[in-house]
A and B are shown apart, each in its own frame.
Chain A
Amino acid sequence: MELPITKPSMVSYADQIDFNQLVGELSKNKHNGFIRVTHGSEDGYLLFKEGEQIAASYDTYSKLDALEKIRSVTENDRTLVEVFDIKKSQIDFLLDLNKHYIINLKSETDDLLSELQTSRGYKEVEENKETTALKLDEPPELDELKTEAVETIEEPEIQFPNTESPDKSPDTNEISVTDTGVSEVESVPEETSATLDGTADSEPSTSDALNTNSLDTKTIEDDVDELEPETEVSETASQSEEVSEPEVPLDRLDLLKKYGIKEVKEEDVENLLDTYKGGSVDEGDVEKIELTLMNKIKKSVLGLPKIRGAEVMVFLDNTNGLSGHVNIIIESESQGFLSKLRGDSKDADNLKRQIINISQIEIRKSFRKYPEIVDEFDVNVEMN
């Protein structure tokens, strides 16, 4: 698989860790990343998305075959096991690059893992295949089978990740089974699916029967109905691989999510257009802005000492970006003859400058997000 090899978050030899436990923990922690196992010149990868095993490769093997190889090499103490963390957003890209390795059906993994487990110590279950299959055809009599199977499987060691996966099938979650033995066997998937030797395995059906302890007959019948076509479809391993080819999602939101494309927010567009040619100001708004500016500037100017009256006119131009002209006519307090003689033209200039400053401050305050617009305004002051 093509995966980004960075600094591993965990490195260990297989004999120093319990691989099953590691996988279980990664599932529990909803891990996004992958495990790399290196054995001699061969290496294998197991990709996780939110704790779920979604793709596997080992040397030239892929999917379930790869998973089996990974399992087997981790029993060798010279195998190096490394855990890598990656971002969740990367996983969809990586999946796209590694379509060939995607384990499409969760049950496929479960089947394999459970089979690997059962092949070690639960030969009895194999012996019960025929009985189970028969029982499946006769749902009302499943109770007997349940008891039988529960008795057979007494020391389950199944600790594989998907037993703890949050994606557990609703059936498994809902059923409350008091028997400890049964509760751990829940990991055996409920669907009958392909095994490595290509034969339809009825073992999951056993678990199905176990799981349905508290369900009524009708539910069991439904389950059996669902299982039948699946058994027919998955006659050979190769066929099951064909079935597991990922379908291209065509839902827009799925695609956006898959490729990590962000939907453009309305407000972002508005903000962007705000910066463009003053285009955010409608013609209807222009008059309102003129009036608001007029009142604000007038109020500020009248707050100055020596000002007896003020008339403010604001004219905006929104053709090529917003710009404007502000004309202010003020009436200042009359000064005494002596003051005039002393030459108060300096004071008048100061007052004019003060009024211009106040007006510009008001313009800036009115366009807080775009204060530089003040450069587009001419302010003229006339004194009366």
Chain B
Amino acid sequence: MTRVITVASGKGGVGKTTITGNLGVALSTYGEETIVLDADVAMANLELILGMEGKSVTLHDVLSGDADIEDAIYEGPGGVKVVPAGISLEGLRKIKLNRLENALETLVETADILLIDAPAGLEKDALAAIASAQELLLVTTPEVPSISDALKTKIIANKLGVDIIGVVINREQHDKTFLTMDEIETILEVPVIAVIPDDPEVSRAAAFGEPIIVKNPKSPTSNAIMQLGADLIGEDYQPIEPDKKGVISKLVEGLLGRR
């Protein structure tokens, strides 16, 4: 049976889309037929993160009734299937969210896991994305506003009968000014299932239009996301250790022409 998992946060800018895109790639590398749907039709970014911008048919067209969902599915990095939202704002007015349900029904038939990147906030589009799922991953940063919004999202999801798998703390900085993992767990009353460190490599990868787990699989962020993917499907994951060669040995190798 297909698992429909929505990744939501409440607050925008917490890294939800980055996590969704990378998690989709991670699940795909584990052999799961995964579709990532960018339901953030107003602020679509998933295609930028996965380097898939400029696709001709997008979710916009599907929700506008101008295309079938099958035509909006594209193959992305690591074999993950992606339904981009489409960055154009022109079609926004034509969108009818009730068409999302029909689109999802089709997608569910063709995937093991359907990951939905929900829009930020709690407007109709966000609620539609949350209500469409059976399970929800709550993404937050360890900051008060982010957690406050995550709490609202969690309560709404509960009300809509969606199971909350857990909280993913993104951009953890080991800074005492932020909330600790225990505090977040206590406030949200949801277990923390992954802690993703603050990593400048993420922005760098996005700038290159590549998911970080492809561009830099040894980074702590990549390891954390791969571990999260493994946990979601009950797989084991051995973190990839970063190169431990010293600067001097690298220099020597370079001088000897081994690199």
Q: A interface vs B, CB < 8 Å?
A: 93, 96-97, 99, 248, 250-252, 255-256, 259-264, 269, 272-273, 275-277, 279, 320-321
Contacts of A259 in B (CB 8 A): 144, 147-148, 179, 183, 187
Given contacts A99-B176, A264-B151, A321-B98, contact A276 B131 (CB under 8 A): yes
Query: B93 at the A/B interface (Cβ < 8 Å)?
Result: no
The segment from B56-64, B154-162, B200-208, B214-222 that touches chain A is: B154-162
Q: Tell me whether A272 and B122 are in contact (CB under 8 A).
A: yes
Say yes or no: A261 contacts B144, CB within 8 Å.
Answer: yes
Cβ contacts under 8 Å, B152 to chain A? 264
Chain A contacts of B155 at CB under 8 A? 264, 269
Whether B183 contacts A255 by the Cβ 8 Å rule is yes
B159 touches A269 (CB 8 A): yes
A219 to chain B, nearest CB (A): 38
From DSSP, what is the main secondary structure of chain B's interface residues? Answer: helix
Contacts of A251 in B (CB 8 A): 186
Q: Let me know if A248 and B177 touch, CB within 8 A.
A: no
CB atoms of A273 and B127 under 8 A apart: yes
The answer to whether A255 and B187 have CB atoms under 8 Å apart is: yes
A273 partner residues in chain B, CB cutoff 8 A: 127, 156, 159-160
Give 14 pairs: A residue, B residue, CB < 8 Å, sorted on A. Answer: A248-B180, A250-B186, A252-B186, A255-B187, A259-B147, A259-B148, A259-B187, A261-B147, A262-B148, A264-B152, A264-B155, A275-B124, A276-B127, A277-B97
Q: In whole angstroms, what is the CA distance A115 to B144 when docked?
A: 40
Closest A residue to B153 using CB positions: A264
User: Which residues from A are CB-within-8-Å of B128?
Assistant: 276-277
When distances are taken between beta carbons in the complex, the residues of chain B under 8 Å from A275 are 124
Bound Cα distance A278, B147 (Å) = 28
**B169 nearest CB across to chain A (Å):** 15
User: What separation, in Å, do the CA atoms of A250 and B144 have in the docked complex?
Assistant: 15
- Least distance between B229 CB and chain A CB atoms (Å): 30
Query: What's the nearest-Cβ distance from chain B to residue A279, in Å?
Result: 8
Q: Mark B164-182, 1 if CB is under 8 A from A, else 0.
A: 0000000000001101101
Contact with A along B121-161 (1 / 0, CB 8 A): 01010011001000000000000100110011001100110
Interface of A is mostly: loop
Residue among B98, B176, B177 making CB contact with A277, cutoff 8 Å: B98
- Please give me the residue from chain B that is nearest to A99 by CB atom: B176
Among A93, A260, A269, A321, the one with the most B-chain Cβ atoms within 10 Å of its Cβ is A269
| B253 at the A interface (CB under 8 A) | no
Give the residues in chain A near B177, CB-CB below 8 Å. 96-97
Residue contact A252 to B156, C-beta cutoff 8 Å: no
Whether A320 contacts B144 in the complex (CB less than 8 A), given A269-B155, A277-B128, comes out as no
> With the chains together, A93 CA to B127 CA distance in Å?
31
- Interface residue? B75 (CB, 8 A): no
Identify the 7 closest CB pairs spanning chains A and B, nearest first: A320-B98, A276-B127, A261-B148, A264-B155, A259-B144, A252-B186, A264-B152
B156 touches A260 (CB 8 A): no
Contact at B189–A252, with CB atoms within 8 Å? yes
C-alpha gap A222/B152 in the complex (Å) = 48
- Collect the chain A residues with CB atoms within 8 Å of residue B98's CB: 277, 320-321
Shortest Cβ distance from residue B11 to the other chain A in the assembled complex, whole angstroms: 12
A248 to B122, CA, bound (A): 31
Residues of B within 8 Å of A272, CB to CB, are 122, 127, 156
Instruction: State whether A250 touches B151 (Cβ < 8 A).
Output: no
**Residues in chain A near residue B182, CB distance under 8 A:** 248, 250
A82 to chain B, nearest CB (A): 25
Q: Within the assembled complex, what's the spacing in Å between the Cα atoms of A277 and B129?
A: 12
Collect the chain A residues with CB atoms within 8 Å of residue B186's CB.
250-252, 255
Measured between alpha carbons, how far is A371 from B183 in the docked complex, in Å?
43
Q: A99-B176, A259-B187, A320-B98 are in contact. List 12 more A-B contacts (CB 8 A).
A: A248-B182, A248-B183, A251-B186, A259-B147, A259-B179, A259-B183, A264-B152, A264-B155, A269-B159, A277-B98, A277-B124, A320-B101
- CA distance in complex: A272, B182 (Å): 29
What is the bound-complex CA distance between A306 and B186, given in angstroms?
Answer: 68
CA distance A272 to B101 in the complex (A): 20
Cα A93 to Cα B144 in complex, Å, equals 10
Q: Which residues of B contact A276 (CB under 8 A)?
A: 124, 127-128, 131
Shortest Cβ distance from A180 into chain B, in angstroms? Answer: 47
CA separation between A96 and B97, bound complex, in Å? 43
**Are A261 and B151 within 8 A (Cβ)?**
yes
Q: In the complex the two chains form, what is the Cα distance from A96 to B187 in whole Å?
A: 17
Q: Which residue of A lies closest to B101 (CB)?
A: A320
Residue of A nearest to B187 (CB): A255
The distance from the CB of B80 to the nearest CB of chain A, in whole angstroms, is: 29
Q: A273-B156, A273-B160 are in contact. Are A261 and B124 (CB under 8 A)?
A: no
In the bound complex, residues from chain A placing their C-beta under 8 Å from that of B97 are 277
Residues of B within 8 A of A256 (CB): 187
Chain A residues with CB below 8 A from B127, complex form: 272-273, 276-277
Most buried by B among A96, A97, A275, A276: A276
Cβ-closest chain B residue relative to A320: B98
Q: Which of B148, B156, B183 contacts A269 (CB 8 A)?
A: B156
Complex Cα spacing A68 to B151, Å = 43
